[in-house]
């Protein structure tokens, strides 16, 4: 009960400062816009090796190099205004994607031409990096789909005409069969069929860079979980400053003389910030889901399990507020709180993938090890698992467990080291 009384009081005090409250929500949104914009811009500006050729290089794995239809497909791609093809073998293309040397590649399957000639549907695969620029991928999809439809339609029309030719050859009295309306009907039928069941389907696949899990989030929207984690952990400084303020004005002394246990007192300082942080997370994700798409910076959801997203959010907020208690116990002045907060939150935020994508950090072995030692890393992983890899509660339990361990350690250190006197 006393925890709730402390919480109500703190919320009243915090919410009185409307300017500060506004910044709690505005600052993350501003950061989000900047980072999402930068990420999208970066993802869209692929390298261009050939001077004078403004088209983007497009890696293509042609597993049907001798086939006539694959040749035709390659020519059509090269003739598009957006891309010029660069041939890779499949293994090199896969490695390059993992290392983010390329953002996407196209696979023309083996037997592409032979199957088409026999009227057997084939799949062209577009493999995109999890953080590839969405707009560039959309452009590629449109171009490939357009070429595939053209080829499909042409082949299906030709097939229809070929069938009619065969029918004519087999029935010398079938002149009526070739009346104009019959030909038009046959062509329309083939056209409709090519739309409904195209001979060439285009699949997009987004492999996880860490493993084989499907990962679907574009670079702009991928900054949302990172920003959420960054700002949620910045709330740790708020907890520490809140406690410092209580000490500074002398009310901590009065609270210590009241019938409150020390745990109640510290939990009562954590809960209001925890609640505010949850609202902050909701605002950041709502902005990401509703506003970023309007700005063309990506789309975002909460994955297939809103419960997993909510649990991850609550655990991340708990970890942050516990960290605040630890900072309050270690810092002896306002300056120390700021210094410690900056070190623990910005540096750890960077290592944990809140500022830069984790796959970049994971490419540097030392940083990769360090990143696992900061809670932000588990927090961003939990969010990406839920949002991008569409995992559920059970699948993110390891991340939630690690965040709980961090929370317990922070709180334990906090309550042991806190200067109640």
Partner 1 sequence: MPPILEVNNLVKKFAERTAVNGVSFTVDEGEVFGLLGPNGAGKTTTISMLTGVLVPTSGTAKIGGFDILQDSLKVKNMIGLVPQDLALYPTLSARANLNFFGSIYGLKGKELKERVDDVLRIVALTDRANQVIEKYSGGMKRRVNIAAGLVHQPRLLFLDEPTVGVDPQSRNQIFESVLQLNRQRSMSIIYTSHYMEEVELLCNRVAIIDEGRIIAMDTIKNLVAMLGGGIIQIGLKQADDELISQLGKLPAVKNAFLVQAAQDGKEKTGEEPAVESKLVKIEALNSQQAIVNVFGLLNERDIPITSLDILEPNLESVFLHLTGKKLRE
Residue 369 touching partner 1 (CB under 8 A): no
Stretch that binds partner 1, among 7-15, 35-43, 232-240, 408-416 (CB under 8 A): 7-15
**Residue 28 burial (CB count, 10 A):** 23
Cβ distance to partner 1 smaller for residue 182 or 247:
247
Token pair in block for residue 381: 């992983």
Tokens for 145? 């789909």
214-253: which residues touch partner 1 (CB under 8 A)? 249-251, 253
Q: Which is nearer to partner 1, 7 or 341 (CB)?
A: 7
CB–CB of 124/201 below 8 Å?
A: yes
Q: Per DSSP, which regions of 175-334 are E strands?
A: 200-205
The pair phi, psi for residue 157, each rounded to 5°, is -65, -45
Instruction: Kindly tell me which of 176 and 257 has the beta carbon lying closer to partner 1.
Output: 257
Closer by beta carbon to partner 1, 256 or else 286: 256
Establish if 263 lies at the interface with partner 1 (CB under 8 A). no
Using rule CB under 8 A, residue 19 touches partner 1:
no
Of 205 and 261, CB closest to partner 1: 261
Instruction: Return the structure tokens found at 344.
Output: 């623990």
Q: Which of 258, 294, 394, 416 binds partner 1 (CB under 8 A)?
A: 258
Are 4 and 269 contacting, i.e. CB atoms less than 8 angstroms apart? no
How far apart, in whole angstroms, are the C-alpha atoms of residue 321 and residue 314? 11
Q: Which of 257, 335, 366, 416 binds partner 1 (CB under 8 A)?
A: 257
Min dist CB 255 to partner 1, Å, is 7
Q: How large is the angle between the packed helices 334-341 and 306-330, nearest 10 degrees? A: 140
Angle between the 219-249 and 18-44 helix axes, to the nearest 10 degrees? 150
5 binds partner 1 (CB under 8 A): yes
Q: Kindly tell me which of 264 and 385 has the beta carbon lying closer to partner 1.
A: 264
Q: If we measure between CA atoms, which residue out of 127, 140, 95 comes closest to residue 214?
A: 127
Which residues here bind partner 1, judged by CB under 8 A?
Answer: 1-2, 5-6, 8-9, 12-13, 16-17, 249-251, 253-261, 420-421
């Amino acid at each position: 009960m006393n925890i709730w009384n402390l919480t109500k009081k703190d919320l009243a005090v915090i919410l009185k400062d409307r300017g500060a409250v506004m910044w709690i929500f505005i600052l993350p949104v501003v950061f989000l816009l900047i980072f999402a914009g930068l990420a999208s811009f970066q993802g869209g500006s692929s390298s261009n090796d050939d001077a004078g050729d403004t088209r983007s290089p497009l890696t293509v794995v042609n597993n049907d190099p001798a086939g006539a239809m694959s040749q035709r497909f390659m020519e059509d791609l090269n003739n598009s205004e957006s891309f010029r093809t660069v041939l890779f073998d499949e293994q090199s293309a896969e490695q390059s994607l993992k290392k983010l040397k390329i953002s996407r590649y196209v696979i023309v399957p083996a037997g592409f031409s032979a199957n088409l000639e026999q009227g057997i549907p084939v799949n062209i695969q577009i493999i995109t990096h999890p953080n590839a620029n969405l707009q560039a991928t959309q452009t590629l999809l449109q171009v490939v789909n357009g070429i595939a439809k053209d080829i499909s339609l042409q082949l299906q029309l030709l097939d229809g005409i070929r069938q009619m030719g065969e029918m004519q050859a087999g029935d010398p009295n079938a002149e009526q069969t070739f009346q104009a309306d019959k030909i038009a009907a046959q062509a329309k039928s083939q056209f409709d069929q090519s739309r409904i069941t195209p001979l060439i389907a285009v699949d997009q696949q987004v492999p996880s860079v860490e493993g084989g899990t499907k990962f679907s989030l574009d670079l702009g929207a991928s900054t949302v979980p990172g920003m959420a984690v960054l700002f949620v952990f910045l709330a740790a400084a708020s907890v520490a400053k809140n406690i410092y303020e209580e000490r500074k004005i002398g009310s901590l002394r009065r609270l210590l003389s009241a019938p409150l246990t020390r745990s109640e007192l510290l939990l009562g300082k954590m809960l209001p910030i925890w609640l505010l942080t949850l609202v902050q997370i909701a605002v950041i994700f709502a902005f990401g889901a509703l506003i970023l798409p309007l700005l063309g910076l990506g789309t975002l959801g909460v994955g297939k399990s809103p419960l997993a997203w909510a649990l991850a959010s609550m655990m991340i907020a708990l970890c942050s507020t516990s960290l605040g208690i630890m900072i309050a116990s270690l810092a002896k002045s306002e300056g120390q709180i700021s210094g410690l907060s900056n070190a623990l939150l910005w540096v750890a935020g960077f290592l944990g993938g809140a500022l830069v994508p984790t796959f970049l950090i994971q490419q540097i072995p030392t940083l990769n090890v360090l990143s696992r030692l900061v809670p932000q890393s588990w927090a961003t992983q939990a969010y990406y698992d839920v949002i991008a890899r569409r995992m559920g509660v059970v699948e993110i339990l390891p991340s939630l467990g690690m965040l709980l361990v961090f929370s317990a350690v922070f709180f334990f250190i906090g309550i042991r080291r806190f200067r109640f006197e």
